[in-house]
Structure 1
């Protein structure tokens, strides 16, 4: 699409959506990555000052798009593989391939909305032999952001998927003890070394973000899905029970280390390795479209 509003950032030409003090910077050519989300003059997401743009999929920051599957997969005890219903083993990297591939800008309103689209190609069919169109729609709201992950099966066979987000929220590590995550009724679990979901226990209603039980942990919703991330000076409310959306299965909490100035709260449609155990696995019939919609409201 021509005539895209752009801004130079770290030597990259990124698409800019929004207004003077509330806007998005996105890199369709680098996995459809949301790089910056500025709300009323303040960065909501973390992005490193010295990002390695030679390997943007590996940069810790923004919001990488996770598709067709999230997390780590194992087939015959080997990581990075999954087995289809016919018994064929396919190779697929952690979190899928979307964050590694260029998206097309398929619709654009410079003031508020962008749609970026990834379609199947030789690069995707090597590890995921299905025809699809995967759209990421970002829409700025006066008090936040709405994101739709829309998958269409453009082929002739059923398509499995369970996409998700990987939001890196800006949070100085010294403030983790003063930050918290509130959840509805959940079960808390982690992935076992063989890929299977580990034993589940009852989740807490509120966690401090310095709680080690949050590290690389899945919080599976047992009531209407939602979350509230409270940080010094800012609250972010996750609205996940929205009309027209498939169910969000869990949010995942993670950070790279105790000294990182970011914290990840990630809405996921399914759990890692769901293609084998079924928790959150979605099947789309030929011609079918499904959307996973989340809305992030910012206060403060």
Structure 2
């Protein structure tokens, strides 16, 4: 499914309602990772109804035990194309008998993509059609290309800019779970230089980020991405080992802590949505 305006062209796959391409029409530049399966075969999956991993791969709710894979199941489901126009598309996923085996809630999840000038906005809309509260987490996982070898660039020419932060306080992951250990990375001029080994220990998990906008830039040319994500209390930064991309991940939810009791209602960051209510959050990509 293709969206286009004067400046941008975006392609979305109904499987996972996943953004696959974001190209500049003025200089033919691709801003997204090209999904090389040798490293990581996705580009921008939606994380729902959980973010991260569950302790033991299971959770408890209503006296029953359920299993969910890391980041949930929505990224592997085929969404219904609800709306498609020149610069806007809406993809919808609803609960089924099969999802109830893993997640005992009624829900309607919509991903709305909109082009606006040189920006793409992705809005998550979660609706509870039931009378009982809906418990969920949700997050984004877009991977932005950092093409080494193009125009003389190397991975270390790229950096992330955090306008409101002078240091990053990163929670360590232990078997994909949040450990009590915190590592502090001091930023110089609000910048985090990218290096492959930065992610050898998995994602940088942030709970106290002050910035609600992060820029991906480089020292060689003017190509840049400004990523805005107001309203997401958690954030992850990740890349596959040795791959030329960086994921900027806004989360409403987080992986289980090492000592979590596995009860869904006690999960950190869980969202509680009453019946008949629709919950929304958006992130935006502004390209230069």
Q: TM-score, normalised by structure 2?
A: 0.83
Question: Using the alignment, how far apart are the partners of 1:228 and 1:21 within structure 2?
Answer: 19
Check conservation: 2:122, 2:283, Cα contact below 8 A. yes
Match of 1:257 among 238, 241, 259: 241
Instruction: Find runs of 4+ consecutive structure 1 residues off by over 6 angstroms.
Output: none
Match of 2:204 among 206, 217, 229: 217
Check conservation: 1:191, 1:272, Cα contact below 8 A. no
Question: Using the alignment, how far apart are the partners of 2:30 and 2:51 within structure 1?
Answer: 26
Check conservation: 1:132, 1:154, Cα contact below 8 A. yes
Question: Displacement of 1:280 after TM fit?
Answer: 2.2
Corresponding residue for residue 25 of structure 1: 11
Q: Are 1:44 and 2:44 an aligned pair?
A: no
Check conservation: 2:119, 2:286, Cα contact below 8 A. yes
* CA displacement, residues 228-262 of structure 1 (integer Å, 9 cap, x when unaligned): 22135322112222xxxxx202221111112x122
* CA displacement, residues 168-213 of structure 1 (integer Å, 9 cap, x when unaligned): 1111256221111122345311233373443334453421110644
Question: Displacement of 1:48 after TM fit?
Answer: 3.8
Aligned length: 266
**Structure 2 vs 1, CA of residues 39 and 71 (structure 1 numbering), >3 Å: closer, same or farther?**
same
Match of 2:227 among 234, 238, 241: 238
Corresponding residue for residue 97 of structure 2: 122
Check conservation: 1:117, 1:134, Cα contact below 8 A. yes
Unaligned stretches of 5+ residues in structure 2: 258-263
Unaligned stretches of 5+ residues in structure 1: 1-14, 53-57, 242-246
Question: Using the alignment, how far apart are the partners of 1:223 and 1:46 within structure 2?
Answer: 26
Higher RCO structure, 1 or 2 (CA under 8 Å, sep 6+): 2
Check conservation: 2:135, 2:265, Cα contact below 8 A. no
Summarize the alignment of residues 119-268 of structure 1 with structure 2, pairs less than 5 Å apart: 119-173=94-148, 175-183=154-162, 184-185=164-165, 186-193=168-175, 195-205=177-187, 206-210=191-195, 212-214=197-199, 215-231=202-218, 232-233=220-221, 234-241=223-230, 247-258=231-242, 260-268=243-251
